[in-house]
Amino acid sequence: MALHPQVVKFLEARKAAALTIENPTLEQMRADPWNWLDVAGPLATDVDTRHTYVTSPTADLHTVIYTPKNVKPGAPALVYFHGGGWVFSWVLRYAPQLSNIASESGAVVIGINYQKAPEHQFPIPFDDCYAGLLWVRDHAAELGIDPKKIGVGGDSAGGNLAAAVALKAGHTGDVALAYQALIYPCVDTNYTRQSYRDHETGYGLEAVGMKWCWDAYIPEAERANQYAVPMKADRFNGVAPAFVALAEHDILRDEGVAYGEKLASAGISVTIKEWPGMVHGFFGHGRYVDAAYEIRSWISAQIVSHTQG
């Protein structure tokens, strides 16, 4: 399918708002000149927001908790790791998406603001996210959640982190996750798949930019580490069921399919849904793209489905 007309307008608006600075610094690129929070759309009004800090092995991490105002006792939980190539973004930029999911699913959603590369390379962001999961497990009573209904999720680089956290949780038995929600995750360093070739440039996420982010995040010596590159995993004991959301016009589309198939071949329950006409990042494009709300509703329904009973 061709690009959706709403996506075309989004890409045009993004191009017009691009930084005009030649060779911008990392600080300038991180400054969010376009205001991505506004691009994501409004927050849900029936959700309370609370800020706290989670202590990881190397830092105190800003953490945001979204709780439905009508939350029921023993609610499910989603521990969320945001996207941004492990280099950019922050948890509050995802307030619209995460509050929408909390509202629609009845889950308590906990966003972890992990440390960023290249200043903090793997395993630091991964360790931060895993510490966030353990904190949620240990504070289940305080959060009002059922410890048997905890899941992890993330988009793009956050999807990588969620997949890796789900692997370690299964391998260690530290947490029996109810699900893993992977939104167009980057889970492999194979850049030769067809979706990379078809969408190398002009679709929001550029192939050269994705490769740069991988290099920023993972030291060469860690390229075979399954918690850095989940596609490298060769054992899936105890790994949670997965639901995978993909965009048709995304360089990461094919690796998302491949990882879902790898999980399924290992006996893990997997649901994959692709949004036609969409590009990478559409989960956060609510101001421009109706499908941003469709995917949030689908994720919410999947959380309910995976935590019933």
Residue 280 a catalytic site member: yes
| pLDDT tens figures, 84-95 | 999 999 999 999
Which alpha helices (DSSP H) does 31-113 contain, by range?
36-40, 95-105
Tens-binned pLDDT, residue by residue, of the chain (309 aa) = 899 999 999 999 999 888 788 889 999 999 887 788 999 999 999 999 999 999 999 999 999 999 999 999 999 999 999 999 999 999 999 999 999 999 999 999 999 999 999 999 999 999 999 999 999 999 999 999 999 999 999 999 999 999 999 999 999 999 999 999 999 999 999 999 999 999 999 999 999 999 999 999 999 999 999 999 999 999 999 999 999 999 999 999 999 999 999 999 999 999 999 999 999 999 999 999 999 999 999 999 999 999 997
CATH number of residue 177's parent domain: 3.40.50.1820
The answer to whether the pTM exceeds 0.75 is: yes
Annotated catalytic residue: which of 199, 250, 254, 306? 250
| pLDDT tens figures, 16-53 | 888 788 889 999 999 887 788 999 999 999 999 999 99
Domain residues for the domain of 285 are 5-19+27-307
CA 248 centroid distance within chain: 17
Residue 250 a catalytic site member: yes
Rounded distance, CA 234 to CA 186, Å? 17
Rounded distance, CA 76 to CA 134, Å? 15
A 10 A CB-CB count for 86 gives: 29
Annotated catalytic residue: which of 280, 285, 300, 306? 280
Rounded distance, CA 96 to CA 168, Å? 29
Rounded distance, CA 7 to CA 9, Å? 5
Give how many domains the chain has, as a whole number. 1
Which pair of tokens denotes residue 92? Answer: 């509050």
Please name which of 39, 11, 27, 33 lies closest in space to residue 95, comparing C-alpha atoms.
39
Annotated catalytic residue: which of 105, 156, 195, 300? 156
Residue 143 is given by DSSP the state: H
Residue 48 a catalytic site member: no
